[in-house]
Structure formats: C-alpha cells, structure tokens
Amino acid sequence: MFVGAPAYASSGTNTCTGPGNAGATCIWIDADYGSEQADFFGTNSNFTSFDCDIFTNCLPDGTWNDEASSGYNDGGGSFNAILWQNASFKGFDECMKVQVATANTKDFANFGFNDEASSNSWYAVGSSQSCSHTD
C-alpha cells in the first residue's frame, strides 16, 4: 500500500487533508504548517534523498533531512505515522495518530523534535509500537 516517492506541494495554510494527499505523512519546514510542505508517500529510509532546495526556506543542506518543524498524518485511517530522528528508522520516534492535529504536531519544538526528522514509516492502528512520543 505505502509505496512511492514523496510528492511536493507548496503550503502555507494547507492542512494536508483531502484528495491527493491521502496516504501521506505531511511535513512542513516551519511550525504551524508554515513555509513549504512535502507529502511523503510510502516508507522512506533517508530524507537526504529528497531535494527541497527549489524552496526558499529549505536550509541548510538542500534536502528534507532535518527540516520538519510540524507534521500531519493523512494516512487515511488505517495507519499511524512515524517520523524518525535518524535515517534507517533509528533514534527518537515521533508517532502521529491518523488525522489528528495538536499543538505538538503543529510545533515539534514543543517536545524537542524540531528539525530532526530523517526517515518515516507506518504502523497499523491497533498494533503495538514503542514510540518515544505520541501525539
């Protein structure tokens, strides 16, 4: 089900819901869904594979690695999303429930996860997953 490369969309106030984004883990460069957005479809082991240097606010290395300051799981109802601190699904893991927006998911700095995300994966709702933080 979750196969494919991320698709990119410009953002601002985009809440990452609706047709075209279903199945995606959505991340934004700034808090409060600010600046540019990427919709990550599938499981991705290293965000350095995905350029974001076409965007003004993409710093410092020109990829989506260590950029995310807010996020949203538009996984469509069956899967919780995980953003990992390190590549290859390692380090601190932030678990995001399906289509739930909170102050924390709107600003990762609230729990020390600002500009940290480097890979993403999923787990089925109802299955067990040890998460460093869940929101």
Q: What is the binding site for Ca ion (CB under 5 A)?
A: 29, 66, 69, 115-116, 118
Q: Which is nearer to Ca ion, 98 or 111 (CB)?
A: 111
Residue holding tokens 């909170």? 102
Least distance CB 78 / Ca ion (angstroms): 27
Q: Which is nearer to Ca ion, 104 or 118 (CB)?
A: 118
Q: How far apart are the first and last CA of the chain?
A: 23
Least distance CB 51 / Ca ion (angstroms): 16
Given a contact cutoff of 8 angstroms between Cβ atoms, the answer to whether 21 and 34 are in contact is no
Least distance CB 82 / Ca ion (angstroms): 13
Phi-psi region of 113 (alpha: psi -120 to 50; beta: other; left: phi over 0): alpha
